[in-house]
Amino acid sequence: GAVVSQHPSWVICKSGTSVKIECRSLDFQATTMFWYRQFPKQSLMLMATSNEGSKATYEQGVEKDKFLINHASLTLSTLTVTSAHPEDSSFYICSAAGIGDTIYFGEGSWLTVV
Amino acid sequence: GQQLNQSPQSMFIQEGEDVSMNCTSSSIFNTWLWYKQDPGEGPVLLIALYKAGELTSNGRLTAQFGITRKDSFLNISASIPSDVGIYFCAGLRSADGLTFGKGTHLIIQP
């Protein structure tokens, strides 16, 4: 079946630095990928929709200059958290649309900003 | 963003019991999906529903897409310890990201 892979699984960074998270569709092409954020004991909240070859569409309240999204190929989207702060610490999850509008998720990436 | 109304928020049941949870929305969705999430991991797809009224089974799991396209339920029969986790419903409109319910925490007592 379809597989979506995220890297890294977890990362710890210093406040003020930038962190990049990769999302890859391993056995299918995904023109659209989605980035979510999840705080402990809460549901997933959509941050942005990543479209291959064009600018990402951000949800209301999500700073596009802080959360940079690049969808450079049909199998790779990246999320860069710029000038990270402790409040950015969260679980970030990507997903991609496979055959038949089914959404498959990556394993998630834990970000801790110290 | 919009969220689906998912209930119950949590369930404490005995092993072997059946489980039922549901989601409702004020908006219509083209596709309903049910996911299970274990701590520290991404959601894993359990069942996908594409047609209004559709009833689909996956082993001990059964889910239905409401006829109005505004609701769905998930049933788990004869629960086992590995069913513990958080279950999310999600609705999808074409070209949009998923809209999620707040999750149902399932806890199974031996």
What's chain A look like in SS3?
CCCEEEECCEEEECCCCCEEEEEEECCCCCCEEEEEEECCCCCCEEEEEEECCCCCEECCCCCCCCEEEEEEECCEEEEEECCCCHHHCEEEEEEEECHHHCEEECCCEEEEEC
C-alpha span between B33 and B63 (Å, rounded): 9
Residue B73, pLDDT above cutoff 70: yes
Are A107 and B41 a contacting pair at CB < 8 A? yes
Residue A2 near chain B (CB below 8 Å): no
Lowest mean pLDDT among A15-24, A67-76, A84-93, A99-108: A99-108
What mean pLDDT do residues B30-38 have?
91
Are A34 and B97 a contacting pair at CB < 8 A? yes
Whether the Cβ atoms of residue A6 and residue A70 lie closer than 8 Å to each other: no
For residue B45, give how far its alpha carbon lies from the nearest alpha carbon of chain A (Å): 7
Whole-number pLDDT of residue A1:
54
Closest CA to B1 of B68, B87, B101: B101
Residue B2, pLDDT above cutoff 60: no
Are B45 and A105 a contacting pair at CB < 8 A? yes
Residue B79, pLDDT above cutoff 60: yes
Residue B42 near chain A (CB below 8 Å): yes
Are B42 and A107 a contacting pair at CB < 8 A? yes
- Sorting pLDDT into bands at 50, 70 and 90, what band is B96? low
Percent of chain B with pLDDT over 90: 68
What mean pLDDT do residues B67-92 have?
94
Whole-number pLDDT of residue B98:
79
User: Average pLDDT over chain B, rounded to whole?
Assistant: 90
DSSP-assigned letter for residue B97: P
Give the residue, B68 or A104, on which the prediction is more confident: B68
Whole-number pLDDT of residue A100:
65
Whole-number pLDDT of residue A51:
84
Are A44 and B98 a contacting pair at CB < 8 A? yes
- Sorting pLDDT into bands at 50, 70 and 90, what band is B82? very high
Identify the top-confidence range among A53-57, A71-75, B52-56: B52-56
Are A43 and B33 a contacting pair at CB < 8 A? no
For residue B22, give how far its alpha carbon lies from the nearest alpha carbon of chain A (Å): 15
C-alpha separations of B7 from A112, B21, B64, B70, B89 in Å: 31, 6, 15, 14, 10
Q: Which two tokens stand for residue B10?
A: 């949590």
Q: For residue A100, which residues of chain B lie inside 8 Å, CB to CB?
A: 48, 50
Residue B48, pLDDT above cutoff 70: yes
C-alpha span between B60 and B19 (Å, rounded): 10
Whole-number pLDDT of residue B45:
87
Q: For residue A110, which residues of chain B lie inside 8 Å, CB to CB?
A: 40
Residue B90, pLDDT above cutoff 70: yes
Spatial strand order in the sheet of A76-81: A4-7, A19-25, A76-81, A67-73
What mean pLDDT do residues B86-90 have?
93
